[in-house]
Structure 1
């Protein structure tokens, strides 16, 4: 089993536009479907409420790791932490990286989530499967958001 998920998509939007869509907490929330409480700040915890149908009970929590404009935005989080009755605080988070590269038509966005080998074995396969599907959906969402 792989310890990572990687999705790459070509976006018909300049790097500056994609950067704004992934680092402005309001815009990120629009396409990611989460209402984030405050702006992203490197080194700080970001929180919010998931707005995706069926997951509205889930609080979104991530620690912003890097905001290296305009090439790298990253955060850590506990993957697929959706059971409100489970304490995930002792788990090692995965690292999510958004890498932006200019192309002749706009931007190549690569999203990588790594560290699934540290997710407890009893939930590793499900977390990997669910996040694989989630990132497949999110690349479509950001494409629609920045190209509208």
Structure 2
């Protein structure tokens, strides 16, 4: 019997050819995060409970905001935040929806590399009319963003 497809979470992994402290800095420094993620977070910092917000660039949608509340920071191990996936319709009040949780974890990999895992969970609580599209967009988005951080951190 075939296992049903997971609809509540996206999980992606990549081994980055860079030391763990370098990958951690790319994740945990808000301005540097913005550089590889494609959002302007200049002058902002990540701290638990703090909201960060910046205009997104390069995704083909005008006036889309990266808008997240930092959840947890465990230096060189875990960084997480909550946000509303695929907030592309200016007519929708996304603050009325329950956000998903994005969690990055780091582990050592052979050859001084770093295994980076990203999990976004909570899609089953996204309103049904936009759940599948948000999941589809973010599934492809995380594949691209892991390549972006790998390129950024290994320079």
Query: TM-score band (shorter)?
Result: over 0.9
Structure 2 residue 95 is the aligned partner of structure 1 residue 95: no
Deviations 1:10-46 (A, max 9, x none): 0111110000001111110111000015111111111
Structure 1: which 4+ aligned runs deviate by more than 4 Å?
none
Give the TM-score, by structure 2 length.
0.92
| Unaligned runs of at least 5 residues, structure 2 | 1-5
| Aligned counterpart for 1:77 among listed residues 76, 79, 83 | 83
Structure 2 residue 137 is the aligned partner of structure 1 residue 141: no
Structure 2 residue 15 is the aligned partner of structure 1 residue 10: yes
Aligned residues: 148
Give the TM-score, by structure 1 length.
0.96
Deviations 1:78-113 (A, max 9, x none): 000111121111100000000000122210000000
> Displacement of 1:53 after TM fit?
4.2
Q: Say what the alpha-carbon RMSD is for the aligned residues.
A: 1.0
Work out which of the two has the higher radius of gyration on C-alpha atoms and give 1 or 2. Answer: 2
Q: Distance in 2 between matches of 1:143 and 1:88?
A: 30
| Unaligned runs of at least 5 residues, structure 1 | none
